[in-house]
Structure 1
Amino acid sequence: MNPVEFRYATEDDVDKILFFIKGIAEYEKMSDEVVTTEALLREWVFEKKSAEVIFAMEDGTEVGFALFFHNFSTFVGRAGIYLEDIFVLPEHRKKGYGKALFTQVAKIAAEQGCGRMEWCCLDWNQPSIDFYRSFGAVPMNGWTTYRLAGDTLQAAAAQAQD
C-alpha cells in the first residue's frame, strides 16, 4: 500500500460524512437509528465545531473516515479525544486504511497533548476488539470503552504515517 493521504472534511463534505455514517450504521446493524441529516452535520460539525472528521484517501477518493471530538478528564486534568466512528468502505478493507485512520487520530491526540483517547465498541464486534487490543488498548472495567493513554497512545501515534 502506498502512504495513506488524509484530509480534514470541510463543510462541502457533509454528504460524504453522512454516507460514511450510514455505512457504519449498516455494518453495526443500526441503520434504523440514524436520524442525522446533512443540515445537522453542517450545524454541529462545522458551525458549532463540535466534532472533526478526517478522510483516508486513495487516488483522490475518500475510502474511510474517522469522526472524533474532545472530551475532558477531571482525573487526568486534560482534554482527550473521543473517537466516535471509524469506518472503511468494505471494498477497501484489508489495505491498512483502518490502522492508518486510527493511528492518525492517536497522533492528533498526542500532538495536542491529550491525556487519552477513548471509544466504544460493540461487544459482538470481535475483529474490532482484536484490532484495538493490538495497540495496547484495554476495556474499562464495567464498560465497553477502550482507551489508549501514556505509552500506548504514544506508540499508536508513532505508527502514523507522516
Structure 2
Amino acid sequence: MTVCTFRTAVPGDEELILSFIRALADYEHMSDQVVATPELLREWIFEKQKAEVIFAAAGGREVGFALFFHNFSTFLGRAGIYLEDLFVLPEERGKGYGEALLKRLARITVERGCGRLEWACLDWNTPSINFYIQKMCATPMDEWTTYRLTGERLKQAAE
C-alpha cells in the first residue's frame, strides 16, 4: 500500500463527498436514489453537524471515504458510531485503503469512548462481506432486520 493519510472533511469538500456518494451509489446499482446536493451536504454535515467524513488519501489525492455519525446503545449506556458509507475508488481497491479507513474509524470509536462500531452491507456484496468477516473479524448480525420509512410512508407515519 502506498502511504495512506487521513483527513477530516471541511466546508468546501461537499463536491468531493458527493462524488464519492455517487460512485458508491453507482457500484450499488442505486444511482437513481441519490438526491443529495452540495448544499444539503453542507447543511447537514457542516452546519448541523449530523455526520462526519474522513478521507483516505494516497499519492496526493483522496482514494476513499467514510461517512459516519453517532448513535446510542441503551444496553451499553453510551454512544456508538454508525458507519453509513465506506467507499474506495475501484482502481484503488486491493491496496489496503478500505482496511485503513475501518481501522481509523475503530480508533476514533475507541478514542471517543464509544461502545461499538456498526454498519450494514448489502446481501449481494460478497467481496465486502468477506472482507468484513475475514479481514476485520466483524460479526454479522443475522438476527436483526433493518426497517425503513422514507418519502410518503414517512410523512404518513408522522401524521
TM range (shorter): 0.7 to 0.9
Q: How does 1:106-145 map to 2 (within 5 A)?
A: 106-134=106-134, 135-143=136-144
Name the structure 2 match of 1:55. 55
Q: How does 1:84-95 map to 2 (within 5 A)?
A: 84-95=84-95
Aligned residues: percent identity?
64
Q: How does 1:13-162 map to 2 (within 5 A)?
A: 13-134=13-134, 135-143=136-144
Is the Cα–Cα contact under 8 Å of residues 3 and 58 in structure 2 kept in the other structure? Answer: no
Structure 2 gaps of 5+ residues are: 147-159
**Alpha-carbon distance in structure 2 between the residues aligned to 1:131 and 1:144:** 21
Q: In the TM superposition, what is the alpha-carbon distance from 1:142 to its structure 2 partner?
A: 2.9
Q: Which amino acid aligns with 1:116?
A: R
Q: In the TM superposition, what is the alpha-carbon distance from 1:139 to its structure 2 partner?
A: 1.6
Q: In the TM superposition, what is the alpha-carbon distance from 1:50 to its structure 2 partner?
A: 0.4
Is the Cα–Cα contact under 8 Å of residues 120 and 144 in structure 1 kept in the other structure? Answer: no
**Alpha-carbon distance in structure 1 between the residues aligned to 2:17 and 2:109:** 21
Aligned residue for 1:49, secondary structure, equals: coil
Q: In the TM superposition, what is the alpha-carbon distance from 1:144 to its structure 2 partner?
A: 6.2
Moved >4 Å (runs of 4+): none
Question: Which structure: greater strand fraction?
Answer: 1
Q: CA RMSD in A?
A: 1.2
Q: In the TM superposition, what is the alpha-carbon distance from 1:141 to its structure 2 partner?
A: 3.2
Q: Which amino acid aligns with 2:142?
A: N
Q: In the TM superposition, what is the alpha-carbon distance from 1:4 to its structure 2 partner?
A: 1.2
**Alpha-carbon distance in structure 2 between the residues aligned to 1:94 and 1:132:** 14
Q: Which amino acid aligns with 1:67?
A: L
**Alpha-carbon distance in structure 2 between the residues aligned to 1:20 and 1:32:** 15
Q: Which amino acid aligns with 1:81?
A: I
TM-score (norm 2): 0.88
**Alpha-carbon distance in structure 2 between the residues aligned to 1:73 and 1:92:** 34
TM-score (norm 1): 0.86
Q: In the TM superposition, what is the alpha-carbon distance from 1:90 to its structure 2 partner?
A: 0.6
After superposition, give the CA deviation of every residue in 1:105-139 in whole Å (9 maximum; x if it has no partner): 11100111110011000000011111111222112
Would you say how many aligned residue pairs link Structure 1 and Structure 2? 145
**Alpha-carbon distance in structure 2 between the residues aligned to 1:94 and 1:2:** 11
Q: Which amino acid aligns with 1:137?
A: A
Q: Which amino acid aligns with 2:106?
A: A
Is the Cα–Cα contact under 8 Å of residues 123 and 144 in structure 1 kept in the other structure? Answer: no
**Alpha-carbon distance in structure 1 between the residues aligned to 2:77 and 2:61:** 39
